[in-house]
Structure 1
Amino acid sequence: MTLPTLLDIEASGFGRGSYPIEIGLARADGSCCAFLIQPLEEWTHWDPKAELLHGISRARLQREGLPVAQVARWLNDELNEIGIAYSDSWGYDNTWLSLLFHHAGMLPAFRLEALRILLSEPQLVVWHRTRELLVKELGIHRHRAGEDARLLQLTYQRTLDQAAPGS
């Protein structure tokens, strides 16, 4: 079974003016990676509550983040061939992705779709319980983009197995 490619974004907050600070991918082969994004000068919104969740400081982004255009190029290089990635927070993630590409002066070479379109009714029924069990089992640190993308992928795989006839 080929796993879907999952994308997750951590951001400076959730309201107006928020922007992406970390993008993570879980690839079809199960490997994952994530990159911090250096905020542009005009990206000033910062929600301390969001920082409490993801644990990434603005100072760390300034030090370790990659330029917006570099992250956009990396995403296009990664996703161009498959042409699609999935997100569990499509409304937020698609907005932040659009912002990233706009400021990079590029167009995405892929589509971002809602993960929900891949899920069957039986998968939806066991989704949250399965995800929480995986967090405990694997000791996953939530609210970091790479780990969250991988968690979504593992949850997808396990719920697919559970929803299979005869399981």
Structure 2
Amino acid sequence: MIDLPPILDVEASGFGRHSYPIEVGYVLPDGSSYCSLIRPLPHWTHWDPAAESVHHIRRDVLVQHGRDVQDVARTLNDALRGRTVFSDGWAHDYPWLAALYEEADLVPSFRLESLRGLLSEEEASQWEATRQAVMREHRIERHRASTDARLLQSTLRRLRQAA
């Protein structure tokens, strides 16, 4: 059995300084997962249509169906407490999680690390081709947080099985 780490992904309103998290999802080593839309705060106004064309989440959907930042941060803390969680987009995901936790007035109970740190040079060189193959095989079309987290974990599983 291959030991797989917990993987987290964040979708956001755009890229850059004024962007904010709009969805967070994770998948745990046992395959269980969580995903939640995040209701934008009144001062979270930046919206990039290019980002929306990737994740296909409209701002009005977030306003109507998103959960409160404190609820999302507490849920993450309860589920991920004491764990090291990995992200393939650490440079983006870390600031977006920081914004979530700052607005919730909470501190994460887990550490977020770069998935790249888990990969050997050979695995890193095969990552993108393997990820694309897994996407095709599983017919993954939805670019959403928990789906992306599961795709990343499946890609890591495939690379480790091949080793």
Q: Is TM (by shorter chain) over 0.5?
A: yes
Q: Which amino acid aligns with 1:94?
A: Y
Paired residue total: 162
**Can you give the 5+ residue segments of structure 1 that lack an aligned partner in the other structure?**
none
Asked if the contact 1:12–1:18 (Cα under 8 Å) also holds between the matched residues in 2, the reply is yes
The residue aligned with 2:5 is 4
- Computed over aligned residues only, the root mean square deviation of the Cα atoms, in angstroms, reads 0.9
C-alpha distance after superposition, 1:142-162 (max 9, x if no partner): 420010000000000101112
TM-score by length of 2: 0.97
The residue aligned with 2:32 is 31
**Can you give the 5+ residue segments of structure 2 that lack an aligned partner in the other structure?**
none
The residue aligned with 1:72 is 73
Provide the rounded CA distance (Å) in 2 between the counterparts of 1:52 and 1:130: 24
Asked if the contact 1:2–1:29 (Cα under 8 Å) also holds between the matched residues in 2, the reply is no
TM-aligned CA deviation for residue 32 of structure 1: 1.9
The residue aligned with 2:112 is 112
CA spacing shift, 1:119–1:142, aligned 2, 3 Å: farther
C-alpha distance after superposition, 1:25-76 (max 9, x if no partner): 0111112221000000000000011001100000000111000000000000
Q: Which amino acid aligns with 2:26?
A: L
Match of 1:92, SS state, is helix
Match of 2:36, SS state, is strand
The residue aligned with 1:19 is 20
Provide the rounded CA distance (Å) in 2 between the counterparts of 1:115 and 1:10: 17
TM-aligned CA deviation for residue 16 of structure 1: 1.7
Q: Which amino acid aligns with 1:110?
A: F
TM-score by length of 1: 0.94
Match of 1:152, SS state, is helix
Q: Output aligned runs, 1:47-62, within 5 Å.
A: 47-62=48-63
* Runs of 4+ with deviation above 2 angstroms: none
Counterpart check, 1:122 vs 2:119: no
